[in-house]
Structure 1
Amino acid sequence: MWLFVYFDLPTETRKERKVASEFRKMLIKDGFTMFQFSIYLRFCPSMENTEVHARRVRKHLPEHGKVCLMKFTDRQFGMMELFYGQKPQRNDKPPQQLEIF
């Protein structure tokens, strides 16, 4: 599963910029990668793990602004078309899943 976090946070004042920056830092600390400036994504090996990370994001929601969580299967993510300019780019393959016994 892939968990996407889309957000649009206010950045008019110094305090708002700090809140937005702290939210981004929290996402990175939790293993998310920046896809676009206000879109972060994370690969999760299972639906249960996806929900764990979604709960963490919900726990750190800023007071103001909009945040959206979307879950995609690996197959849906693989069907995404990415373009930089007019050249299509290949999707990143999901990381290898490690099992610890």
Structure 2
Amino acid sequence: MNQNRYNAYRIMWVIVLFDLPTETKTERKAANLFRKKLIDDGFTMFQFSIYMRHCPSRENSKVHIKRVKSLLPKYGKVCIFELTDKQFGNMELFHGRKEIEKPKASQQLELF
């Protein structure tokens, strides 16, 4: 196996941030459906309206970004971006004033 294949600059995180309207029953339904489809695609909640997904490569992250774009609701704001695993590792997380651990990367089986 090629060691360069799994380095911190090749492994990617896809982050989806969204602010969707929820004033009407239809808007709430659309927002919940978008969130559910993110979860179905392997995203996990990082904070309210912020979901993230670990991807083994930039090519794989592009697949998931394309999928998220196909799920976009009619109204609201959605931001999608990628971070390398190295950049993600430099993040500092706090709950109040106490620093907390970063989420662990999921172990993902890749089949060819």
Structure 1 gaps, min length 5: none
Q: 1:20 and 1:97, CA in 2 relative to 1: closer, same or farther beyond 3 A?
A: closer
Q: Please say if 1:30 is aligned against 2:41.
A: yes
Match of 1:20 in 2: 31
Q: For the residues of structure 2 that align with 1:27 and 1:97, how far apart are their CA atoms?
A: 17
Match of 1:51 in 2: 62
Q: How big is the shift at 1:97?
A: 4.6
Q: 1:99 and 1:18, CA in 2 relative to 1: closer, same or farther beyond 3 A?
A: closer
Q: Please say if 1:79 is aligned against 2:90.
A: yes
Q: Which of 90, 99, 102 is residue 88 of structure 1 equivalent to?
A: 99
Match of 1:66 in 2: 77
Deviations 1:24-83 (A, max 9, x none): 000000000000110000000000000000000000100100000010000100000100
Structure 2 gaps, min length 5: 1-11
What's the RMSD between the two structures over aligned residues? 1.1
Q: For this pair of structures, how many residues does the alignment match?
A: 101
Q: 1:24 and 1:52, CA in 2 relative to 1: closer, same or farther beyond 3 A?
A: same
> Percent of counterpart pairs with the same letter?
62
Deviations 1:1-36 (A, max 9, x none): 000000000001010000000000000000000001
| TM-score, structure 2 as length reference | 0.86
